[in-house]
């Protein structure tokens, strides 16, 4: 089970919607001491969902990007990584589905004010709801915003580009984060699409 990247675009001109959810070919490890701003305690968190929301004030287009990471991917065993990332990806997918479904609640406030604060609140509300609904399953999943440069480098990552040569015992990095290679197959995406609950109905700030 690999880190999962999500891009969502709501068009301000024609009401169109574009979504892309895909796994990387490895697990990113994010250092929680770097610009971490979680809505739940950092201690005990094993996987994270990092998000960034922006709005184009001229067109009204709203962009939501996210990716998942393991807190200790480089030292976790395979079974732990599989468990942590599967659950983080499921929660991430729940957020995608929820925010797509309740755009009517936050979309207009975002376009009227020219910021994404209403989306921020909707995202946080959805995250808190799924964690509270399954307190024994999701208490070690964290949610936070991420620096726009890091988000850009993650969403721009191309697994087909040659990797830089590494010294012995040196680990590969993506966007400044350790990158633990894992085998990714079609079941990886299918598992990430599985809802964390029977109901899939269900937010980040600009700079």
Say if residues 107 and 10 touch (Cβ distance below 8 Å).
yes
Q: How far apart are CA 5 and CA 24, in angstroms?
A: 7
Which pLDDT band holds residue 30 (cuts at 50, 70, 90)?
Answer: confident
What whole-number percentage of the chain has pLDDT above 90?
57
pLDDT in tens, 71-84: 888 888 888 889 99
pTM over 0.85: no
Residue 90 has pLDDT above 70, yes or no: yes
pLDDT in tens, 33-42: 555 444 445 6
Query: What residues does 3 pair with on adjacent strands?
Result: none
Residue of higher predicted confidence among 102 and 45: 102
């Amino acid at each position: 089970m690999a880190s999962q990247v999500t891009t969502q675009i709501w068009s301000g001109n024609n009401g169109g919607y574009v979504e892309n959810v895909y796994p990387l070919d490895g697990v990113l490890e994010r250092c929680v001491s770097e610009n971490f701003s979680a809505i739940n305690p950092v201690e005990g968190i094993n996987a994270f969902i990092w998000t960034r929301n922006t709005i184009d004030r001229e067109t009204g287009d709203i962009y939501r990007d996210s990716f998942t990471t393991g807190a200790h991917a480089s030292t976790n065993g395979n079974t732990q990584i599989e468990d942590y990332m599967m659950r983080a990806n499921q929660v991430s997918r729940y957020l995608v589905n929820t925010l797509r479904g309740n755009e009517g609640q936050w979309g207009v406030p975002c376009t009227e004010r020219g910021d994404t604060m209403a989306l921020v609140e909707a995202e946080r509300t959805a995250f808190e709801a799924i964690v509270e609904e399954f307190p024994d399953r999701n208490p070690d999943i964290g949610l936070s915003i991420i620096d726009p440069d890091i988000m850009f480098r993650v969403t721009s990552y191309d697994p087909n580009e040659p990797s830089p040569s590494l010294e012995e015992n040196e680990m590969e990095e993506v966007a400044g984060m350790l990158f633990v290679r894992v085998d990714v197959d079609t079941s990886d995406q299918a598992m990430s699409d599985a809802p964390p609950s029977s109901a899939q109905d269900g937010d980040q700030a600009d700079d």
